[in-house]
Structure 1
């Protein structure tokens, strides 16, 4: 284990908080550490590992510099580039899932600041909100929709029709916020005197590795796929493997274990046994509130044991992705990739009002249907 990795762990306050929460919860439920590994979604961990390697490979190749320079020259104002990045994040999330969309959009955003003066943190926050809004539209946009779609028996298009009013309302909301939060200030182009250097070999290698990884995921051989692309990067560009933020995987593992411990609490089970008798408003608030603390995917899994995969539940757990950081794992990915401590509290200045707005507007739209 190298020193940079140890330093990253020492500075990771969010990981420290998750460990403390896990220790506290372990005193409130039966202590069974042998069950903790089974609580971790290893498919998610392996998929995330592969995506981090592939994204870091493209980043290390320098191609994001080339793309960022072209984009910076194409847009005139800060508002224009914000609209484009937010819409791109939302669109990609509808068919690539919210996590994958962020692995493409956020590194590109970080590169843009080399070529023009933009409020990077604010833009990444809006991209995180955009993938949550865009991904709720389709059955394959995020993990909770995949689960709900499978249980509902709806066709692909019927599911989209069910989610469309909420997705439209949230995207319009984000575009209005973009208008007010990003001024029509002329972009100041930087570093115009140099042409970015990039490695075509590494870019094409990343594309080949991505195809290999996709096939491995499709064949349920994700661990072999990860091993192949890791070996490929060790041969092609060892620096890619060394520069990945591997501590993010520990954060996800700790979150899975904490959620597992939380769901063992007798008080929570006592509450959920009666959730099937809740009014629509009660179920709406329960699903959103539960998502805030254990994330919307575990909330969906837990609530489906007590209630049917209704439109109300689908809307509620997707609304629950806004608000507090744990609401959606996509939030965590976006903020971690920003690599700036100030973004953590600034995120909530936007996400909490959006959650309140989504909660009210979503429920009113449900009542009108």
Structure 2
């Protein structure tokens, strides 16, 4: 029951598979061919490295050393949200939240200030920051593989939407976080595994080089071998296997869904120009989350930039629009926080959508 609650998304997609299977009766080869193994290899490599970085405790140490230098809520918010932005560009949005949210909760127990709003904005921040790079979030990693462009070209392309969202985010932070004094009494000490941290950084550089040169399968062998033979087995124990299983079942489900005649009729009724693909990606993400929306949309359009813009802008809408939102809020175990989340996420989503829409209209 605990597993069902934690991995609810996987089980939803698994349940969806069975009616689709009996309706379409795909062969085993068709099912296997629907899985994007290139994306899976890259995701596994990235998750291994980011899991190791999290275990190394370096970022826990960094955050603790930083937090006591800020004396009020606004400075604290700027510090942690800036950290969330930077880390999410390289460690993926969900891994960044696994690092920052527990730390934020730990700090909140040592001060009188309520940091719930900060956790909400950490979720918003990782959705914004992760949009910039091909390894910032799963949907970007998938779409990057389809685009067949370099890492720097991808970053340049995504900066059109990320820069205005960054400006908007810090306007929100400045207006909503007041310079209210913090009473901080930090006592926690963290021991950093320096070997694991620096070796993982080297592996991350190898991964980026491999991603740039379509050599990820070889980088994955190096990464797995290193963690196996350097006695870093804890990386495999804490690896998020269900995230990989969820991606596999998503690839299969959305490939089958795209073959349904009724779905094809609906999708073909829309025009496939940049704006329409962008808007459909935005709307679809609000109901099925942005990663499945990205996978689904590629069956009907090869305008991967429009899809990338849409699914990334959509991440800060409804709770389900991004898994990062769910990850951040489930740490709090408070049903009331979901209403608070939408109080901030929906206005931010509407304004960021309008900004990006105007930029698309003018420059693309």
Q: Which bracket does the TM-score occupy, shorter chain normalised?
A: 0.7 to 0.9
Could you give the per-residue CA deviations for residues 142-168 of structure 1, whole angstroms, max 9, x where no partner exists?
3587479769xxx959965x963x444
Compared CA separation, residues 222 and 333, structure 1 to 2 (3 A): farther
Q: Residues 185-196 of structure 1: matches in 2 within 5 Å?
A: 185-192=180-187, 195-196=189-190
Q: Mapping of 1:38-57 within 5 angstroms?
A: 38-57=33-52
Which residue is equivalent to 2:299? 302
CA distance in 2, matches of 1:246, 1:55: 13
Q: Does 1:289 align with 2:280?
A: no
Superposed, 1:132-281 pairs within 5 Å as 132-134=127-129, 142-143=140-141, 146=144, 156=153, 160=157, 164=160, 166-192=161-187, 195-234=189-228, 235-276=230-271
* 3-state SS in 2 of match to 1:275: coil
Q: CA deviation at 1:67?
A: 1.0
Q: Deviations over 1:145-199 (max 9, x none)?
A: 7479769xxx959965x963x444433332233345544333343442x542222
Q: Does the aligned pair in 1 maintain the 2:84–2:100 contact within 8 Å?
A: no
Matched, 1:111 2:108: no
1:93 to partner: Cα distance: 5.6
Sort the Cα spacing of 1:47 and 1:76 in 2 relative to 1 into closer, same or farther, 3 A.
farther
Give the Å deviation of 1:48. Answer: 2.5
Pick closer, same or farther for the CA change 1:41–1:298 going to 2, 3 Å. same
Name the TM-score, length of structure 1 as normaliser.
0.73
Shift of the alpha carbon at 1:332?
2.0
What is the aligned counterpart of 2:323 among 332, 335, 341? 332
Helix, strand or coil: the match of 1:55?
Answer: helix
Give the corresponding residue for 2:69. Answer: 74
CA distance in 1, matches of 2:176, 2:239: 32
CA distance in 2, matches of 1:43, 1:60: 26
RMSD of equivalent CA atoms: 4.1
Task: Tell me the TM-score normalised to structure 2 length.
Answer: 0.74
Contact 2:38-2:145 at 8 Å conserved across structures: no
- Cα displacement (A) at 1:242: 0.9
Pairing of 1:18-97 with structure 2 (within 5 A): 18-91=13-86, 96=90
The separation in 1 between residues aligned to 2:329 and 2:37, in whole angstroms, is 24
Distance in 1 between the 2:17 and 2:39 partners? 20
CA distance in structure 2 between the aligned counterparts of 1:132 and 1:18, rounded to whole angstroms:
23
**Structure 2 residue matching 1:74: 3-state secondary structure:** coil
CA contact (8 A) 1:144 1:300 kept: no
Distance in 1 between the 2:132 and 2:209 partners? 25
Q: Distance in 2 between matches of 1:325 and 1:252?
A: 19
Using a 3 Å threshold, how does the CA distance of structure 1 residues 277 and 149 change in structure 2: closer, same or farther?
closer
Change (3 A) 1:36 1:80: farther
Change in 2 beyond 3 A, CA 1:163/1:202: closer
Where does residue 3 of structure 1 map in the other structure? Answer: none
Structure 1 pair 359–34 and aligned structure 2 pair: CA distance change class (3 A): same
Deviations 1:76-97 (A, max 9, x none): 2232232233334445666x4x
2:10 and 2:355 map into 1 onto residues whose CA distance is 34
Cα pair 1:69 1:112 within 8 Å, conserved: no
